[in-house]
Amino acid sequence: MSALKGKIGKQELEWVSVPHGPTGTGHVKINGCAPVEVKWRKDAHGIWIQLKEGVFGFDISGEVLDEGEVKYNVQKRGFSENWSQVAFVREGEEISQATSGGKKKGTKIKAQMPGKIVRVLVKSGDPVEKDQPLMIIEAMKMENQIRSPQVGKIEQVHVKEGQAVETGAELLRIDV
């Protein structure tokens, strides 16, 4: 299986054995050093990673850009560290550096799995805070809160209560 590479903050990561499934053990090269063993456990908001230095949790939310590339926002649990627009690529792929010509784009919030919109808690024009609940989606017989990854203002809500959505469907957009 090919490696998965990315950069979070100043750390360049290369998963030698790509994580898959809800739990597992793998090996990661950090900044090109020898691989270290890591254990992971996924939860509803992200991943817990166990290293010899301790256990660290990260909330991860993804956004599929218009070009089809996925960018992630990563928030270290219990800390103020937050990285946005993180990209991971498979071995042999390149990370594209799309430019917006100085124009600020809003953040698209997309469905991470197919489901049904149970409640929409915001409307266009509403100010939002980081981690504020935006809507509730029922997926796999469980209700999941969709939370704001940042402070901003709701630009547009694309769904309504009772609507079925597919993976990757744009739910709403937040102006930054």
DSSP conformation class of 148: -
Tell me the one-letter amino acid at 75.
Q
Provide the whole-model pTM: 0.45
pLDDT in tens, 85-128: 666 655 444 444 443 344 445 788 888 788 899 999 999 999 99
107 or 3: which carries more pLDDT confidence? 107
CA atoms in the 13 A half-sphere facing the CB of 165: 26
Q: Whose CA is closest to 155, among 121, 128, 130, 136? A: 128
Average pLDDT over the chain, rounded to whole? 79
Q: Per DSSP, what are the bridge partners of residue 156?
A: 173
d(CA 37, CA 25): 7
pLDDT in tens, 118-148: 999 999 999 999 889 999 999 878 888 888 8
pLDDT tens readout for residues 17-39: 766 778 888 888 888 888 888 88
Give the residue-averaged pLDDT of 167-175.
87
**What pLDDT score was predicted for residue 1?**
43
Which range is least confidently modeled, 21-25, 36-40, 61-65, 164-168? Answer: 61-65
Residues in the chain: 176
Q: Which element (helix H / strand E) includes 36?
A: strand 36-42
Q: How many CB atoms lie within 10 A of CB 107?
A: 21
pLDDT at site 102: 41
* Token pair recorded at residue 13: 């990561």
Model pLDDT, residue 145: 87
